[in-house]
Amino acid sequence: MKKIRMGMIGGGIGAFIGDAHRRASRICNDFELVGGVFDADYEKSRLFAEKEGISSDRCYKSVDALIKAESALPKEKRMEVISIVTPNALHYPFAKSILSAGFNVVCEKPMTITVDEAIELEKLVKKNKLTFALTHTYTGYPMVRQMRELIGKGALGTIQRIDAQYYQGWINSIIHGTGSRITGVWRLDPKHAGASSCMGDIGVHAFNLIEYTTGLEVKEVLSDLSNVKEDIKLDLDGTVLLRFGKKLKGVIRASQVCGGEENNLTIAVYGSKASIKWSQENPNFLYLLSDTEPTRIYKPAHGYNEPLAENSHTMPSGHPEGIYEALANIYKGTGKSIRGEKFDSGEFPTVHDGVRGMKFIHSVVESNKEGNIWVKV
């Protein structure tokens, strides 16, 4: 089977997330990077293309130039999907242009800056009948998928509480440094990051993980956010109360200023019969807790797992898998969709997940701004 021809916007020399996408696409072995616009500086983009062995005539100076040149190629040669791995503010304009030209898209989150932009992209994907994958990477972990399947089968009984936490500490050294260092971080600049830093960058991952694993939608949020320092324009820390209905409640706690924390994302769903817990820093272990039985531990690459989880491991049991493999699973599902093959709805987040994420971010920001009130999502 021929590999899917992929382009990339952003992700050039020194870009962590671009490198992660390239590694993931290679792990799933369904994609070939054939060209792109890898940097706003064309010389840097050209050097990157040379390093990757990409033909110079498919290293473009702009997204418009890429679309024009690729659209003119025969169908069997042009790019089939384009990955967008730029800062947040560029996701929407690039995705809109690429979708309008008939190319499938893989996009980093958050999908857009505004809710209206997200809704517009959703309509465009539906109109042009294209594949749009949003890389909420944690949904690619086998044990997150096992969690989703067990909850879907009713293993927990009636869900009674949902807790998610995402703590990092990387921004501490930046905000307590000089002013020039602060302005050098695009995630702290509303022009590039959007309405939120903490909730827009990591809180939305926790939100997505909740809706992905439980199949439930958050109906309302009440938030209390902090920018920690007066000269910081966006939130760096916060707590969000969640309402799913009259009885079911939950909470998201997220922070980028928890000194010593690295990438501490956890989720726990508590039910009437049992409860289930997962942690991103120990992703191969899923815990099912009960009042009447010993704690049960699920691990990848075992026949007792549900099909979605069992089909998501890339190594035999006992071999640790991580973030690259999780992202590779999303690419794998995206590839199935592009090829018109049958796939499970849990194999990759869609443009609709992007709309839900933007509604969450803006509802959280509004709740805090209006004095910590309940706001619909």
Rounded-to-integer distance, Cα 108 and Cα 87, Å: 9
pLDDT of residue 178: 61
pLDDT of residue 173: 87
- DSSP E strands, the chain: 4-10, 31-37, 81-85, 104-107, 132-134, 159-167, 220-226, 237-243, 249-255, 264-271, 275-279, 286-289, 296-298, 375-376
pLDDT of residue 186: 84
Rounded-to-integer distance, Cα 303 and Cα 140, Å: 18
Shortest CA distance to 297 belongs to which of 147, 159, 145, 141?
147
pLDDT 10s digits, 73-117: 999 999 999 999 999 999 999 999 999 999 999 999 999 999 999
Q: Which residues of the chain carry a pLDDT beneath 70?
A: 178-184
pLDDT of residue 184: 60
pLDDT of residue 185: 82
pTM of the model: 0.95
Q: In the chain, what are the helix, strand and coil shares in percent, each to the nearest 5?
A: 40, 20, 40
Shortest CA distance to 33 belongs to which of 54, 59, 11?
54
pLDDT of residue 179: 57
pLDDT of residue 78: 97
Which domains occur in the chain, in start order? 4-138 (3.40.50.720), 141-306+351-376 (3.30.360.10)
